[in-house]
Chains A and B, each alone.
Chain A
Amino acid sequence: MNKVIPRIALRNLSRQKKRNILLGGAIAFSIMIVTLVNGFTGAFIENVSENFAYLMAGHVFIQGSERTASGKKISAIRDDSIIFDAIANSGIKYKTATRSSEASATLVFEGKSTSQNLTGFDLENSGFLRERLVLKQGTWDAVKAPDALIISEKVAKKLNVLPGDRVTARLQTVTGQNNIADFTIAAISVDSSIIGSAMTYVNLSYLNEAIGLKPDEYTSLNLMLDDLKDSAPFADRLYTSMKGMGLQLFDRNQKNESGSTTPFQAMLQSQNKETWEGVKYRVYTIDDVLSQAKQIVIALDTASTVVLIVLFTIIMIGIANTFRMVMYERIKEIGTMRALGVQRGEIRSLFLYEALFLALGGALAGIILALLGMNILQLINFGMDSPAFLIMKNGHLSFSLPPLRAIGNIAIIAVLTLVSAFFPARAAAKMEPAEALRTLK
C-alpha cells in the first residue's frame, strides 16, 4: 500500500470540518467518560484497601486459634516470638507490627444499647489511627486513659453519650464467659463511612483484661507493609516460612463454599469443620477480607464497557451515515481516482484510513480530556470526614488508569469505527469508474 492513500485520507479530515469535529467530539466524549470511570475503578480497590488497612492497622494479619480439650476454640496469640522468627526467616520487610484484640460487645448507657465491635490497640502510640480518624469531640490526650473508648458519631448519638460519660460493655471472654467492663468515652470520631462508624477503639491491655487475656497477649498481629500490592506475596512467603518452622496453619487457599462471600469467610467456615491440637494460625491479607470490593470494581468496569459500547453504537450509526454521505459527495473523485489507476482495495483503504484517523484523533482527545479531568478532580479536597472517605485517598478523589485499559478502549473505538465505515467504504470501492464519473455531483 503506497503512502499517498493515508496522506489523502488524513487531509480529507480537513474537509467538512464541522462534521468531523462533531463526530470526533462524540468519540472523544465517550472515551473521556469511560476513561474517567476506568481511572476511578482503577484506584477504587487500592484506596478502599489502603483505607481499611489503616482502620485495621495492617495489610497482612496473623491470628491464632487454640482448641481446648472440650473442643472450644479460643482466639489468642500468647507468644509471638516464633511468628517474628518466621517473619525474619522469610526475609520480608514490614513497616509496622501492631498487636490488637477484638471483641463483640453490647454498649449500654442509661438504658440505651448498641452492638459494636471493640478493637483494642495501643491507642496512645497508634500513629495510623491519628492520621485517619477525625475527632469530632474529645481529644487524643484523653485516649491515654486505660479505659478510654473512641466511639463514632452515629453510635454516640444512638447512645446519647458525650466525652467523659462512662458506658458499660457486655461482652464474652475468649473462653466464652459473659463479662462486663466499663469504658470512658474519650473521643467521638466523625462517621467517615459505614465501616468507620462500626469501628470502636479501646486500649489493648484494658480490653485484654475484659476478655480474659493477659496484657501481653492479643488476638491478631497486624503487619503494615510499604506497599499494599506486596500483601499477597508477603502473606504467601510468611505462610511458607511459618509452615517450614512446624507451625500449624489453616490453608490459605480455601475454595469458596456456598454462603461465603470472601476468601477470609471461606477460611473461617472451613476452620469450623477442622480439628487440631494446640495453636493453629491463619494468615490473611486485607484483599482476602475485601474481595467484595473487587467485585464492585469488576461490576463498575463491566458497566463502563457497556456504556462505551452503547455510546459507541449510537456514534457508529452516525459514522456509518456520515461515511455514506461522504461517499456520495466524493463519487466523482472516486471515479477519477479509479480512472487514474487506483485499485478498488485502495479506495476502500482510503475510507477506512479516514475513519481510523478520525477514531484515533477523537480517542486521543478523549484520553487527554480525561487525564485533565482526573487531575482537576484530584485537586478537590473532600476532607477525611467525607462519607466517601473509604474510596478516596487522603480525602481526595484518586484515579489510576492502567495503560492497557486505555489502549484497549482505543482499540475498541478503532475497531468499531472501522466496522461502521466498512460498508460505505466497500460500496465506494465497488463503484464502476464510468458510473462514478457520470454523476452530476
Chain B
Amino acid sequence: MAIIEIHDVKKNYPLGKVEVQAVKGVSFLIEKGDFISIAGPSGSGKTTILNMIGLIDKPTAGEVIIDGKATSGLSDKELTRFRHEVLGFIFQSFNLIPVLNVWENIEFPLLLGKTRITKEEKNSWIDWLMAEVGLTEWKTHKPNELSGGQRQRVAIARALVTKPQIVLADEPTANLDSATGEQIIELMKKINRELETTFIFSTHDAKIVEIADHIIRLRDGTVTENRRRGEDVAASATTVEE
C-alpha cells in the first residue's frame, strides 16, 4: 500500500530574472514501512523532492498525496498540523534547538499541536527513545556539548517522538565521518524494522544508498532509476520511462 504518491511533480525556482526547473515532472510511489534512499549528485533535486514530500515546500505543478490525502489545497496551518502529526524530520546539520538540552529537544515536538499524552507516558516514551539512540547518559547536556553523531541521534529521537508514519532525512550522514554515518543509517534501519516507520533519506554516498530497500536515483530533476533492492537496474529504467 502506497503511503506517498508523487504525481508529475514539478518545481521551478526563480534565479534572478530566469526560472530554474529543479524538478521536471517526477512521479513515483512509496510503500508504507519502506526504507528508501533518494540518491543523486548535488543539484539533482533530492532536497527539493524531500521538501515537497515533507510539505515544507509546494510543487509548482503536480500532486503530492500522503496517506491518501492530497496536500495541494491545504492551508499553511493545516500543512503545519499535518507535518506535526504525520512526518518526522532529520536534517543534515542536525538543527537542534541550542537552548534546550537533549531531553527537552526530544520532547519539543510533543509540546506542539493539540495532541496530549500523560506525563508518565511521555517520560517513558522519551526514555525509551533515548535508550534506543544510546543517549540516556546525555539527557541533560546541551547540543553544543555533544559530538556530531550524538547530535544526529538526538535528531533521530526527536523525529520519532510523535510516532510519525514517515521520517524524512535530508543527507543525514553528510556532516559525519563515514563510520558514524553508517552507524546512523543502521540505527534508522533498526527503528524502521522495530516501529515500521517509513524512512526516506537522501544521500549522494553510493555505499549508503545500497543499504536501502528501495532506491530512487535522480539526475537533473528527473528520476533515472526507481527500483527495490535486488531488482534489475535495466528493468527499473524501463519502468521509469513508462
Contact = CB atoms under 8 A, between A and B. Distances in A.
B111 A434 contact: no
Contacts of B146: none
Nearest to A433: B56
A386 to B, nearest CB: 53
Interface in B105-131: 108-109, 111-113
A434 B89 contact: no
Q: Is the interface of A mostly helix, strand, loop or mixed?
A: helix
Contact of A338 (B80, B91, B108): B80
B100 interface: yes
A437 B91 CA distance: 9
Interface string B20-61: 000000000000000000000000000000010010110000
B99 A342 contact: no
B91 A341 contact: no
Contacts, number: 68
A273 interface: no
A12 B98 CA distance: 9
Nearest to A13: B99
B95 A341 contact: no
Given A333-B95, A434-B51, A437-B56, A340 B100 contact: no
B100 A341 contact: no
B77 interface: yes
A19 to B, nearest CB: 15
A139 interface: no
A15 B99 CA distance: 8
**Of A342, A344, A437, which is in contact with the most chain B CB atoms at under 10 Å from its CB?**
A437
Contact of B80 (A2, A12, A335, A343): A343
Given A433-B56, A434-B51, A434-B56, A340 B112 contact: yes
B84 A332 contact: no
B164 to A, nearest CB: 10
Contacts of A339: 54, 56, 83, 89
A420 B217 CA distance: 48
B112 A341 contact: yes
Given A15-B98, A332-B93, A433-B56, A340 B109 contact: yes
B81 interface: yes
A260 interface: no
A341 to B, nearest CB: 3
A432 B57 contact: yes
B97 interface: yes
A271 to B, nearest CB: 73
Contacts of A332: 93, 95
B53 to A, nearest CB: 11
A335 B91 CA distance: 11
Given A2-B112, A341-B113, A333 B97 contact: yes
Nearest to A330: B98
B232 interface: no
Nearest to A10: B99
Contacts of B57: 432-434
Nearest to B113: A341
Contact of A340 (B77, B84, B93, B98): B84
A417 B158 CA distance: 34
B194 interface: no
A3 B56 contact: no
A337 B83 CA distance: 11
Interface string B64-100: 0000000000001100110111000101010101111
A338 B84 contact: no
A336 B91 contact: yes
B76 A344 contact: yes
4 closest A-B pairs by CB: A341-B84, A434-B57, A11-B99, A433-B56
Interface of A: 2-4, 8, 11-12, 14-15, 332-333, 335-344, 346, 432-434, 437
Given A2-B112, A4-B108, A437-B56, 12 more contacts: A4-B112, A8-B97, A8-B100, A14-B99, A337-B97, A339-B56, A340-B109, A341-B109, A343-B80, A346-B112, A433-B57, A437-B95
20 contacts: A2-B112, A3-B111, A11-B100, A15-B99, A332-B95, A333-B98, A335-B56, A336-B91, A336-B95, A336-B97, A340-B84, A340-B112, A341-B84, A341-B112, A344-B80, A433-B57, A434-B57, A437-B56, A437-B91, A437-B95
